[in-house]
Each structure stands twice: as C-alpha cells, then as structure tokens.
Structure 1
Amino acid sequence: MMRTPSLRAKMINEGTWAANKNQFKKTRVLATGNSTVSDYYDNEYFINITLGTPPQTIVVVPDTGSANLYVAPCNDNDQQNCFDSSKSSTSNATQSGKYVSDVFSVAGLTYKTQEFGLTTFIQFGILGLGWPGNAIDNVVPPMQNLLPQLDKPLFSVWFDRQGGSGGLITFGAIDSENCDSNINYVKLSSLTYWQFSMSSVHVGSYTSNKPVQAISSTGTSWIGAPSADMNAIVKAINAQYDNIHQIYYVSCTQTGLPDWVFTIGGKQYNIPSTEYVTDVGLGNGNCAVTIFENSGFGPSWVLGDTFIRTYCNFYDIGNQQIGFSKARHTEV
C-alpha cells in the first residue's frame, strides 16, 4: 500500500525544510494571557471575566479550591456584577436546565460554550480553577476548556500585599517577573483539589512531624488547620480568642513572633508574622491571626492567600504537580 508522505517529509526530500521550519514553528505557537488581580485588604482577590455576546464584565474570585464557574443572575434593573442571559445572543440553557452555556473570556483567552451556574447566593462570581474530579455535575471546568489554547498547560498565581499592585494570574506561562526563578515542585496526591503531602509544621515551641494532606486554595483568605494544630499554634504565639468575631488575635505592635514553617517536598516554607497577622478592624490595637479551624472531611490543611502572598504558586496541569517560589514584593 502506498502512503502519502507528510508535508515535512516532502519538504525535507526537496531540501526546503530548513528554510521554512521556523515559519512552521510560528504557526504552532499557542497563547498566554495575564489577568490583573485586585486586592481587597489582603482578604480577597478578584479578577475580571466576560460572559456572553456582547461581553458582560463580571468580577469573580479565582478559586483553585473549586472547579465550577458561578455568577449571579440579573434579577432587577439596578443590580450590579451579574449576568443577564436575555442580553446575550449566544446564551443557551443546558439540557439539564441547571446551567447556562455561553462565550467565556479571561485574560484574552476565549471559549465559546462554557457551562456555568447562576446563583443568587453570591455577591461576586466564583471562577473555579480546580480539576474535573472536583466539578459539580461533571461540568467541564473553565481551565480544562482553555488548555488547548495555552502555550503550556499551567497557570501561575502571584498575590501582592495591600497597597501594592494587587497581583497577577498568568495563564499558559511562568510568571518570571514577580516570582523567583527557583521553583520547587511536588507531585499532586489527588486530582480533585490541588492537593499534596506536607511532612511537618513548626511554629515556635510547637512541632508536628505527622505527614498530612494539604491543598492550595486561592479562594480561601487564611490558613485552615486541624483543631489540635490550630490550638497549639495560637498557644505558641500567645494569641487570644475574640468571642464576638470568633477569631484569634495578638497586639498589632507585638514583635518577635515566630515564623510558621511548613515542610513540603523536603523544602521549608516560612510564613512571617507580617503575613499571618493582619488588621481587620478589631480595634483596641488588636490584629487578627490568619488561621481558622479546618474540620470535616477532606485534606487536613488549607493553604490560602496568607501562604500564596509569600510564595507564588504554579499550577502545572500537564505534569500533575504544583510548584512554589518566593514571591517578589515592592515595599509599600
């Protein structure tokens, strides 16, 4: 049986491949995109997306701890940050009726038939950046739909501190401007959350060498810990409990507090008190300690924005791993 030679083989045979190969490489270059992040008092981070035709801009929380896209529906004329399907020429209800399918864009990247939910229980949308295994109703997550367009099957997250530029999410590339080039990767232990093993926790006089499971969650403001670990940590830093607000606090002027040290993949990650102590308006010169009790099923620890501000997170879908490197900040 005769086989038709590939175009590449034909050009090599004709001696024209060397002169044209660079042009062919250019046609295969895929996309990257940057989404500027807005920082709300170091407690919440937001980006803009658009939905529909013509595009409707929606402010969403980028959340690696979930996998679905949810936005609020427009139910009255003066409602803001909502999606009005009646004003989109490309909007369609899915067969189940539980979701809407429409054009979705973020950071200059577009997918024409993204399924998303409409819910009245949120002020801001939620852009789930997790794995299909964590998606409700088996809806294909936005990141999975964007993957074929990306130069690399990954995205980078850099969160700045309050008073800075807010942050940046880079789709399809490593953020080399805001993140140190020395990236340490660990394999994921589950393809639901961005989940990995953590071998130890050390804070002052407290050390736990018990291996645990942790997740990276951009949609979680603080650090979630099991009850026993949380109690030991707040004791190690002499934090007090605020019964009204149900959070732990220390004096905003307290000095000499120890770092929180997490060991992941044989590397130590130090979180200084300048990151885990924050002024949330408690008054009386008191500042919140950014830790909460993580109870119930699932991974023991949640490394939220307190951790991510200190270390850029690199979500490598193609290699099923997550990387960390020191975040760069301009003093403000």
Structure 2
Amino acid sequence: MWLLSRLVKQDQLATDSGTYTYWQFGMAAPWVNGKTALSTPTNHIIDSGTTLIVAPPSSAAEFWSHVPGSAVYDSNFWTFPCASPPQVDFAFSRITLQRWGVSQDSFNLGYLAEDPTRCVGAVIGQNLGLGSSWILGDAFLTNVYVVHDVANKRIGLAIPR
C-alpha cells in the first residue's frame, strides 16, 4: 500500500551509462514566505547523504535575495535574523501546486557565536558540477516521507502526520 499523497513524473530516475545515479525532480522551485524564489525553475536532486540544501552559488544568492535581512556569511553560507525566520517550501510543478515545507528547525542551523541575533540557513551556494540543479539533502528530507519506486522509475512524497 502506498503512503503517498503525490507522485513525481515517472521518468525522473536519472541514469549514467546504464547505472542509476540519483533521483531527480524536474522543474522544481523553492519558495520563500509564500513567493517563488527563483526566476527559472530548475532540477532538484534528492540525496539523503547530503546534510544541507545545496544550490549553485548564483541560484543560492537569488534565493537569499528573497529572505528579508539575509546576509552572506563565509562565502557559501547566509544568515538571517533569528527573530524572523523565513518560511521555506519547495514546489514540484509536475506534481501539483502543493508546496512541501521545510520546518524552521530543519532550516535553522543555529546562531552565530559572534552575533546571537543572526542564524545560519540550510541553503548554501556551492558549485558541484551539476549545472543549475539543486540538491535537497536532509534539511528537506526530514520533513517528508520519500518512497522510491525503482521498477516504475518514480518517487513519491508524503507529509508526516
């Protein structure tokens, strides 16, 4: 029995020379405080071996430009005011208009020792050689159930109750 409330398009198991390499959502977009945070949707890869949400540096900068009070910290990371954390969601347009939320506990990596009013966010900018694709790691995955249907090359998501 499937626990799923939605299924992703069935051809999203990416392959490389016949070997399965990663699971990918096509044309996905992050949202900040109820508004889309990227001008162009991009592919998103889910990876339980990645702790954070990793985006190409220019995409991460565009995402953070939608977070009020955000500031660059240590080139790959950004901070935000701890008193006003953003609501971060991801929408996978091939599913429905449903957005999948990232809890504030998952998004907030903690405050800065030098300024406890500033918190570090889970979206970082790093060039991993994946073009414009984002990696949705544990900061996203701890908020959803994921079912991998290898036989049918599809991924299912469900929100925990």
Matched-pair contact (CA < 8 Å) for 1:226–1:301 = yes
**Scaled by the length of structure 2, what TM-score is found?**
0.75
The letter of the residue matching 1:318 is: A
* Structure 2, unpaired ranges of 5+: 16-20
Greater relative contact order: 1 or 2 (C-alpha under 8 angstroms, separation 6 or more)?
Answer: 2
| Distance in 2 separating the partners of 1:263 and 1:213 | 9
**Aligned position for 1:287:** 119
**Aligned position for 1:203:** 32
Deviations 1:304-329 (A, max 9, x none): 1111111111111121111111024x
**Aligned position for 1:250:** 80
Deviations 1:248-275 (A, max 9, x none): 11233325x2333322423322324343
| Distance in 1 separating the partners of 2:158 and 2:77 | 29
**Scaled by the length of structure 1, what TM-score is found?**
0.39
Select 1:271's aligned residue among 81, 99, 102: 102
Partner SS for 2:48: coil
* 1:303 positional shift: 0.7
**Does residue 233 in structure 1 map to residue 57 in structure 2?**
no
Select 1:213's aligned residue among 33, 37, 43: 43
The letter of the residue matching 2:108 is: V
The letter of the residue matching 1:327 is: P
Matched-pair contact (CA < 8 Å) for 1:276–1:289 = yes
| Distance in 1 separating the partners of 2:39 and 2:157 | 21
In 2 relative to 1, CA 185–209 (structure 1 residues): closer, same or farther, beyond 3 Å?
A: farther
Higher strand proportion (structure 1 or 2): 2
Higher helix proportion (structure 1 or 2): 1
| Distance in 2 separating the partners of 1:259 and 1:296 | 22
* 1:289 positional shift: 0.3
Matched-pair contact (CA < 8 Å) for 1:190–1:196 = no
Root mean square deviation, CA, Å: 2.6
Number of equivalenced pairs: 147
In 2 relative to 1, CA 206–228 (structure 1 residues): closer, same or farther, beyond 3 Å?
A: farther
